[in-house]
Structure 1
């Protein structure tokens, strides 16, 4: 029995107060749940000398303090119970693993990606911008917890949430885990939360348990009521997947029962035929669905079309239905107002302006009618396409492909349910393409969920020998952890690969050891991957002393190396420099570019590029490669290997060696013709043989081949053609066709030849080449390894392990690269040293020492380009461009000459007359100012973060008064430039009225005090 662990009592901040003399320690480790430990602490204990000692920390054992157990982590004490009799007193304690504290704070009014003005928008599961990272937003009330590794495959996924009130732990481990298909692992020692995709958690421990070694009793159970084979998949607000599922509202998965043993041969064959027919019509149905999507995009464009900035306002052909409705409403309001002012009367001086706007209104209404007709025509085409899709859907429905008797039997296997994930949301903010993407993601996730519940969900419970008490299992004890896989054999032909869900160990009673598993393999021949088992995990009640959330997966943390491999490289361009700033590395979606900066600041001619499956070295801007490591094609065959001008090694192993010439100076040469020239050859053991088909001309049969002198001991030499071999005086002479001796083997074992060639395979499994050691599957030199063994890294440097596991730089056989430190050299901005293309070479990135350019490969004029250097970033789209510098941001439209510059002291908008047309003085702007109300308000998103600061300004919406003249094009934002202009004009009108009133007041005053003719004006005192 292993020694019981030492329990340390800690303050809530993990400060250790001291060790506890705990007894009756029982630990329960759980997968996807909160671990639990129970123990007793006596008030007094007797030491080795019989002295009764009062437990020093007895009174401090209280709820909320922590228990630390080495290698297991921290646990939070619940309210301890005091047990006392006439003789003894002790505290009975239960403690939960520290993530339990996440259940004690709640998310309130937590709205994510609802796009309703009350939420936080654009939130991904993980984002470097914490304000857009769901995980960081959830933990705002827990600054002591950090986010660690998050699988790269799920980082950028987005879902919608609407949480009125819920605790943080259950939201993460249920809502987030369910909808993203992920698993949370809590490290209570470092207070780190890591998130893994469901398929990336747990490892095969290679531990085998059977009645012959460890198992005492095993029980296997499952509930038939939990099996579902037909699932209706829904998102929020009834979002369905019909148009992606042949028009059927439910997805069927009978794969578990689709065997002759379950269905019988006749039904099994009929179901096979149905599935084949279903698959055969998928392409046709998908093409029609794509056409429908295209038509919906046309409808979307006809409804939401907007004119380009600066376009003529009255060109109604540039407006969609919604924009026309808004314009017509605005024009009608203005028209009605001017009618009230009397402008509609023909003799009014403003009648012509009224008439022009009235005609504009009628033209807009006429265009609106056209737009409605266009929309109806496209919608009619959509209805025709949908009719064809419905006909296909009816034809491939299983009810129309089976006989009555077959339908009766197949329905016995169909068990229906509805699955809805309200976090898949389509908002008004989404385009038809966005909606279709959401539907696709919903269908994929729904099918994945159905594949798990469409077969028995087996659970295992087992009483077994205490694995931790057996010295034979000590090397594997660390891998016997919850979340990992164990092999359980019930009988010779019936075994399972099961995940360890829970184990309980009593450190005072070795026999009290039990485990619970979930299956991932149904039998030796039938794979049944239940990778998450989230819905099968056991949850306890929500009591004060024992509140738990939903089961959640855990496993040993992956290493930093695994994290790099799984996360991959961010597709955004990344630059890395060494501390000396001599090494330059550029990483983007096309690979890694390595260069070195010379002393004068220029880039070295030597550089390297690492792509998906190749590492290339060059010294001429990558026009030609000097050395390559990765996948190459030679004579129509593809190989993974090294291609270089020279390879220096102590040992080279190869199954096939091809070269124009193999030489070691003048000592040994194999020419392109196959001639071998050597100063001496030693052949130890074996024999020399010739192919009888190609015997030399002076030999009729193999028996006439001269015997090899006894001093030539060879393993085996085989030649298909040897001309005129002669043995003279103990020497073997080989003459060419002209009679000249071309090769000679002397009595001391030396080989001389004027020309020689070796054909066939040359294999080396030992030795060295140029300082490289050769083994059966690799070559190595000091801390550099190149291996053909797929269980090792293909290339590794900077480590000592032959498999490359500790190397600072390593490349897997799948082409993935990890490096701890890299140097990438480049050139000046005017002579780009790094050019990177995407896979089809449609886009190009030029990397420079001082920046980069990104543009389409065929865009020679670079009309659409992104440029960045040390002092600015420029994005250009034909004549439109934006530039960001350290002191300002500018946006320019070359079509109309408009330009806006934003500096620290405020925005600057280009407003010269040369870039404007149709310039007309505006009137009655004071009315717009007076008709626009100013409100105080608070943003709902700030309230959710307990930020209740007030703001003052405009409010757009029904029953709120805001002039349309200060709204932007889509009428949901304020155009501050227009707002300032309206306010300025209104102030001028008000000033004019004030001036007029002042003049009128002066006239009245002057008329009252005007004196009579020939009289002296009185003074104020006399008047008073």
Structure 2
């Protein structure tokens, strides 16, 4: 829950004012200010429902409490600066002398817990402010009546994920399912009734607040959460979707032993060999990605070629039927002129059948050629080259049996299944259609584009795309959001494939679709350029990898374009890549131990000397904690922070950090 801490009120002595609790109905009708409140406790949390609890007596100064009976469940508690709450499950306690009602409530987004959200099976954009319909946040707003959208991290706009059907409660989706899928954090402003969503990997500001033994900390305890450590994961999507086809080491497993190398448990020379293996994977990553892109592009070409073959065979069957009818007509003719006429028709049909048969054979030859490119038993094929890299980087081939046995002692394994990664039939609104292209301008913008040079092996250059938008000008105008895309260029020939969301073709719109374009191109331009990335290792030998990266490309396209809605290998490749990248991020979080810090400290939230910082305080921002001999001031990039107010002299807050550091300060 978002709060503006600059609005906290203090009395003349600099102590925080006890907030008045205003009782309202869920329809926002005022009932009154609750008298006799005591034992007030507030637990303000960043990314989960905040809590309020308090007691009220049935009798005040010998008179009945006028609002005692009105304080029931499903009422609204409004405070001026500590948030808005919904009451739940009040309890009454009486001993024959006095009667007290114990009231508990949760921040107002808790009202969404009873609302049901339905998402059909499909691929969804998280948010598009220009076209919110059928985005995840747009569907949420359809159910969360009265709520609006506040801040949304730019990285979440245009971010697609594929879902199996979801039919459950809204708040559970926002606090559990969506954050796992999109790596995001929902934060509610209960005053403005707005929903704010942050990228969980987005670095938020850190306040110049230093907690150490010289100013506020009295004692410090650290507990390691060893049972949460994972160093090897095997991810699965729906219907046993796996990462084997997109993982450079050729298995369903990914590994991270950086913790055990950093603390010296894995010793030399094995530690250096492990780092060398990781370096080899990084060095081959772009080439492997290019090969998988070529394979995906080939599957798209195969799909288009098979569709064209089906059309040719249909045309051949039509000609064959015409031939049969003409032969019968020729046999039934009794005049010489009639037979001559029917024979001329038959000769023309036979010529067309011969030509169409040659077209069918040529198309079958094209399909056979593409199938060879996808045959892993052919060493020079795309699939064969992919298999060669997998063999080269295989953990069982890279390490000896003795080395692997030692490493396996540090494999803390876990299977993780996320059913929202699913290859599903896409929208059929604009599917199954072919369109001719003649010098149409294709533009891609705002995409994460990687360029891979494969000219030495295949005479081609490959571009892989993730996110962003594309548009095609001309009579067959088409535009949409890119989930995944590949562009294969060889000379002036190209094959372009998109797994797209919010696809618009002329006057039709579909929630998603598959697009394949092929032919010749001209006037190609892109901002893709060399970029060097530093990968730190735990042995002090950083790895530097240079890749070609950019965000935009465009060219004039001629040839043909084909749209389809059926599940195919290209879409499966796209979802497998999403699953792989999600698994890498998940392991990055899990491969480092989580720590919980218990700190006894003075109250600084309400301390006057901290008032300049209090005015900047926002849950989710960070502070600095001095852990003494354990490394000095530690900068804590907070994802969540909870503030508990039990009295004017006691304050605590709890934080979670994406680095795996969990901190509790009391």
**Structure 1 CA distance, aligned partners of 2:319 and 2:140?**
47
**Structure 2 CA distance, aligned partners of 1:430 and 1:416?**
36
Pick from 166, 169, 172 the counterpart of residue 167 of structure 1. 169
Q: 1:238 to 1:370 in 2, by over 3 A?
A: farther
Q: CA deviation at 1:62?
A: 1.8
Please tell me whether the aligned partners of residues 344 and 354 of structure 1 are also in contact (alpha carbons under 8 angstroms): no
| 1:316-367 deviation line (CA, Å, top 9, x unaligned) | xxxx1233355567778x779x97x996673179977799779867865664
Q: What is the aligned-residue RMSD (CA, Å)?
A: 3.5
Report the structure, 1 or 2, having the larger strand content: 2
Pick from 392, 397, 416 the counterpart of residue 395 of structure 1. 392
Pick from 109, 113, 119 the counterpart of residue 99 of structure 1. 109
Please tell me whether the aligned partners of residues 7 and 68 of structure 1 are also in contact (alpha carbons under 8 angstroms): yes
Please tell me whether the aligned partners of residues 121 and 166 of structure 2 are also in contact (alpha carbons under 8 angstroms): no
SS at match of 1:139: helix
Please tell me whether the aligned partners of residues 297 and 570 of structure 2 are also in contact (alpha carbons under 8 angstroms): no
Q: CA deviation at 1:111?
A: 1.0
Pick from 74, 77, 80 the counterpart of residue 84 of structure 2. 74
Q: TM-score, normalised by structure 1?
A: 0.44
**Structure 1 CA distance, aligned partners of 2:296 and 2:173?**
35
Pick from 371, 377, 381 the counterpart of residue 379 of structure 1. 371
Please tell me whether the aligned partners of residues 81 and 92 of structure 1 are also in contact (alpha carbons under 8 angstroms): yes
- RCO greater where, 1 or 2, for CA within 8 Å and sep 6 or more? 2
Pick from 191, 195, 199 the counterpart of residue 193 of structure 1. 195
Q: CA deviation at 1:486?
A: 2.8
Q: CA deviation at 1:39?
A: 0.6
Residue of structure 2 equivalent to 1:178: 180
Residue of structure 2 equivalent to 1:507: 647
Matched, 1:113 2:113: no
**Structure 1 CA distance, aligned partners of 2:280 and 2:92?**
71
Residue of structure 1 equivalent to 2:60: 45
Please tell me whether the aligned partners of residues 125 and 155 of structure 1 are also in contact (alpha carbons under 8 angstroms): yes
Q: CA deviation at 1:170?
A: 1.3
Q: 1:282 to 1:12 in 2, by over 3 A?
A: closer
Please tell me whether the aligned partners of residues 148 and 193 of structure 1 are also in contact (alpha carbons under 8 angstroms): yes
| 1:75-125 deviation line (CA, Å, top 9, x unaligned) | 0111322222322223211111010011111024x21535xxxxxxx7553
SS at match of 1:257: helix
Q: 1:396 to 1:201 in 2, by over 3 A?
A: closer
Q: 1:212 to 1:18 in 2, by over 3 A?
A: same
**Structure 2 CA distance, aligned partners of 1:180 and 1:167?**
18
Residue of structure 2 equivalent to 1:36: 51
Matched, 1:2 2:4: no
Residue of structure 1 equivalent to 2:514: 430
**Structure 2 CA distance, aligned partners of 1:260 and 1:39?**
47
Higher-Rg member (1/2): 1
Residue of structure 2 equivalent to 1:672: none
**Structure 2 CA distance, aligned partners of 1:416 and 1:409?**
15
**Structure 2 CA distance, aligned partners of 1:106 and 1:329?**
52
**Structure 2 gap segments, 5+ residues each:** 1-14, 426-512, 516-568
**Structure 2 CA distance, aligned partners of 1:238 and 1:274?**
28
Q: TM-score, normalised by structure 2?
A: 0.66
SS at match of 1:408: helix
Q: CA deviation at 1:240?
A: 3.7
SS at match of 1:430: strand
Residue of structure 1 equivalent to 2:608: 471
Q: 1:360 to 1:455 in 2, by over 3 A?
A: same
Q: CA deviation at 1:157?
A: 1.5
Q: CA deviation at 1:7?
A: 0.8
SS at match of 1:200: coil
Pick from 299, 304, 307 the counterpart of residue 301 of structure 1. 304
**Structure 2 CA distance, aligned partners of 1:468 and 1:124?**
35
Pairs within 5 Å for 1:744-763: none
Pairs within 5 Å for 1:209-288: 209-246=211-248, 247-259=250-262, 261-282=264-285, 284-288=287-291
Pick from 505, 517, 531 the counterpart of residue 655 of structure 2. 517
**Structure 1 CA distance, aligned partners of 2:239 and 2:346?**
47
Residue of structure 1 equivalent to 2:626: 489
**Structure 1 gap segments, 5+ residues each:** 47-51, 115-121, 305-319, 521-528, 538-1024
Residue of structure 1 equivalent to 2:414: 417
**Structure 1 CA distance, aligned partners of 2:57 and 2:17?**
19
Q: CA deviation at 1:166?
A: 0.6
| 1:465-501 deviation line (CA, Å, top 9, x unaligned) | 3334533334334555542323333323445444463
**Structure 2 CA distance, aligned partners of 1:38 and 1:424?**
40
| 1:518-557 deviation line (CA, Å, top 9, x unaligned) | 356xxxxxxxx349x8xx99xxxxxxxxxxxxxxxxxxxx
Q: CA deviation at 1:191?
A: 0.6
**Structure 2 CA distance, aligned partners of 1:456 and 1:37?**
32
Pick from 13, 19, 35 the counterpart of residue 33 of structure 2. 19
Matched, 1:321 2:309: yes
Please tell me whether the aligned partners of residues 461 and 515 of structure 1 are also in contact (alpha carbons under 8 angstroms): no
Q: CA deviation at 1:221?
A: 2.9
Q: 1:176 to 1:356 in 2, by over 3 A?
A: farther
Larger mean CA deviation between 53-62 and 140-149 belongs to 53-62
**Structure 1 CA distance, aligned partners of 2:67 and 2:610?**
36
Residue of structure 2 equivalent to 1:818: none
Larger mean CA deviation between 33-42 and 439-448 belongs to 439-448
Please tell me whether the aligned partners of residues 331 and 361 of structure 1 are also in contact (alpha carbons under 8 angstroms): yes
Aligned residues: 493
**Structure 2 CA distance, aligned partners of 1:329 and 1:421?**
46
